[in-house]
Amino acid sequence: MNGAELLRDALLLHGVDVCFANPGTSEMHFVAALDAAPRMRCVLGLQENIVTGAADGFARMADRPAVTLLHLGPGLANGLANLHNARRARVPVINVVGDHASTHLAYDAPLTSDIESLARPMSQFVRRVSGAGDVRRAVAEVYRAAVSPPGVATLILPADSAWGEAEALSAPAAAATPVMRQADAGGVRRIAETLRDCRRSGQRPALMLSGSALRATATAIADRIAQAFDARLVTETLGGRMERGQGRVAVGKIPYAIFSALEFLKDIDVLVLVGATPPVGFFAYPGAPHRLTRGDCEHLVLCAPGEDAVGALGALAAELDVPAGVRPRLQAARGAGAPPGGTLTAEAVSQVVAQLLPQGAIICDEAVTAGGFLYLHTAASAAHDYLQNTGGAIGNGIPMAVGAAIACADRKVICVQADGSGMYTIQGLWTQARERLDVLTIVLANRAYAILQWEMRELGVRELGENARRMLNLDDPTLDFVLLAQGMGVEAARAKTVEDFLRLMRFALARRGPFLIEAVV
């Protein structure tokens, strides 16, 4: 048995059985090893940002890591943007990055680069395998680093560690299941005391939820606390995964625009962080503050990111003695406002999606400027998961949908994708076709980097000149997403009116398999 075969077996032992890959020559021994193990599902991405974005989407929905297979420094580099998003989503991802044989590095062959330096900014753990005999230990370490607390962990696999002789796993006992870290009990008591003080003094508290605090079990507890102590429930602008819709609790999202965000949070005197970090501006602007809460707002940590939010919220509810009669306010079905007919708009797209959303759907939201509408209108849709671009590195919608669909083969994935960011990883449509994934992609084609045009207006620029138009418009030539999808084996059609879009949505939702609608808005 060689190191590559041992690596494969050790990953399978840890339950890692999906490999998103774009291999190269230095990874051929690992490819051969995977080839001999049908238990590992290998999924090819045509560019590494598809690979890593799919691993992110998989982890968000499966709550366990997939492994990526990447080709040296440049292959890793191509996938870093979506690893950045995965890092910000705090989900487990294991990267295996091939490298030259260790004896070859000194010769500075063309593909040589400093892989560690590239990996570190997006990884909470980076480790180079030092020989076939080191593979077993390396896998145990990288797995532990990826799951507890969840994050991106990167293993660099030199070719000679892959082809060198290794000993087979002798005792294939199951690997230990990761245990979620518990929050500090002292914090619970202090926060309970502060919430009681707020009730006495009339100060306004809020719970800011993130990570596992956005699952339905957690939001239900949080809402009982919120009712009993007149607290608001808020969450970050772009979140990793939220269980919401009918039968679940609604959580308010901090708006993207800095002054709207400040306005949204200005009444909060005490902010209890539940798996969240203090809210800050997505960008800085001259004269605007960095933190989004008021300067005198008190921040308290109930549990840190990666810690057990359900446990911490439960402990807080118990400490606060929230009466059993206080039931979570679960979202009821309500007639979604049907959009007026005629010309299609981003808001009308959101209204139709909200109205037709199937039970258990997974929404991948990279709608960018239209994201606000989508979140708003789907609040009372059938129960669903809502996944967003957590790190702001654009191009994660289509790949994330790939990974979510592989994690949840029986659920419909609906990717609402802005056109500019969609072009970053358009190649992911091919993987959707290859793997027959049940993904509906809705491209919002406004033919511009609309959010940047908005930012330019905020800067005081009234009218774009030639150079700004050349950098911020996408209208010359017009991108034809129907042809692009068809070119990658995905059926597609275009909607220019609300009636078109309704008809196509009904058609797409009645079938399985990938489909794309270009919604011209």
Residues 271-310 that bind a second copy (CB under 8 A): 277-278, 280-284, 286, 290-291
> Which of 103, 182, 260, 359 contacts a second copy by CB under 8 A?
103
H or E segment and range at residue 148: none
Least distance to a second copy, CB of residue 464, Å: 7
Cis peptide, bond prior to residue 172, ω within 30 of zero: no
The Cα–Cα gap between 36 and 19 comes to: 14
On whether the CB atoms of residues 44 and 76 are closer than 8 A, the answer is no
Q: How far is the CB of 126 from a second copy (least distance, A)?
A: 11
Torsion of CA 283, 287, 288, 289, to 10 degrees: 100
CB of 400 to a second copy, least distance (A): 15
Task: Determine which residue in the list 395, 397, 399, 403 makes contact with a second copy, applying CB under 8 A.
Answer: 395
| Rg of the Cα atoms in the chain | 24
Residue 109 is a binding residue for a second copy (CB under 8 A): yes
State phi, psi for 364 to the nearest 5 degrees.
-100, 110
**Using rule CB under 8 A, residue 77 touches a second copy:** yes
Q: Does 335 bind a second copy (CB under 8 A)?
A: no
Nearest CB to a second copy, comparing residues 159 and 309 = 159
Task: Name the token pair of 195.
Answer: 């919430």
Among 1, 28, 330, 356, binds a second copy (CB under 8 A): 28
Q: What are the residues facing 71 on neighbouring strands?
A: 98
Q: Which is nearer to a second copy, 10 or 51 (CB)?
A: 51
Phi first, then psi: what are they for 218, rounded to 5°? -70, -45
Tabulate helix, strand, coil % of the chain (nearest 5).
Answer: 45, 20, 35
What length does the chain have? 521
The 340-379 contact track toward a second copy, x by CB under 8 A, reads: ----------------------------------------
Distances (CA, A) of 467 to 42, 58, 463, 473: 44, 40, 11, 10
Q: Please choose, out of 197-205, 261-269, 297-305, 390-398, the segment that lies near a second copy by the rule CB under 8 A.
A: 390-398
- 8 Å CB contact between 268 and 295: no
Q: Which is nearer to a second copy, 343 or 478 (CB)?
A: 478
Residues 116-135 that bind a second copy (CB under 8 A): 117-118, 120-122
Q: Give the one residue of 434, 447, 497, 513 binding a second copy; rule: CB under 8 A.
A: 434
Which of these ranges, 175-183, 201-209, 244-252, 386-394, lies near a second copy under the rule CB under 8 A?
A: 386-394
* Burial (Cβ within 10 Å: 0-12, 13-18, ≥19) of residue 20: buried
Query: With binding defined as CB under 8 A, does residue 216 bind a second copy?
Result: no
- Smallest separation (angstroms) from a second copy to the CB of 191: 23
Residue 93 touches a second copy, criterion: CB under 8 A: no
The CB-side HSE value for 372 (13 A sphere, CA atoms) comes to 8
Binding mask 437-476 for a second copy (x = CB under 8 A): --------------xx--xx--x-x--xxxxx-xxx-x-x
